[in-house]
Amino acid sequence: SQQGEEDPQALSIQEGENATMNCSYKTSINNLQWYRQNSGRGLVHLILIRSNEREKHSGRLRVTLDTSKKSSSLLITASRAADTASYFCATWSGVDTSGTYKYIFGTGTRLKVLA
């Protein structure tokens, strides 16, 4: 499996509801970042959480990080139709078997917010 894996793969909710998506990773990290991608604006950075932080807020976004479980969650509160997008977590990996140190995105959660 990959360094970052999001769960669920797809999520469909009604406008106004909260959406929670999870990310698991494998190696030790300095920080973890969440991105959003939709057809209109491409890939956009949402929030960064450092390894010594447990929770971070930005507007309607709340991110948690549990380094003991190597997992993070992204909560979007009071969702809007405009939140419809794919959401990815991303981290810098440790050096892999090929000696490469690289930035790895998860497989993504496709969120659909119904009006």
Partner 1 sequence: DTGVSQDPRHKITKRGQNVTFRCDPISEHNRLYWYRQTLGQGPEFLTYFQNEAQLEKSRLLSDRFSAERPKGSFSTLEIQRTEQGDSAMYLCASSLGVQIYEQYFGPGTRLTVT
> Which residues of this chain interact with partner 1, rule CB under 8 A?
4, 30-31, 33, 42-45, 48, 50, 88, 90, 92, 98, 100-108
Nearest approach, Cβ of residue 54 and partner 1 (Å): 17
Taking the least distance from each CB to partner 1, the nearer of 2 and 18 is 2
Nearest approach, Cβ of residue 2 and partner 1 (Å): 8
Nearest approach, Cβ of residue 80 and partner 1 (Å): 22
Taking the least distance from each CB to partner 1, the nearer of 77 and 107 is 107
DSSP, residue by residue, the chain: --S-EEE-SEEEEETTS-EEEEEE--S--SEEEEEEEETTTEEEEEEEEETT-SEEEETTEEEEEETTTTEEEEEE-S--GGG-EEEEEEEE----TTS---EEE---EEEEEE-
Taking the least distance from each CB to partner 1, the nearer of 73 and 93 is 93
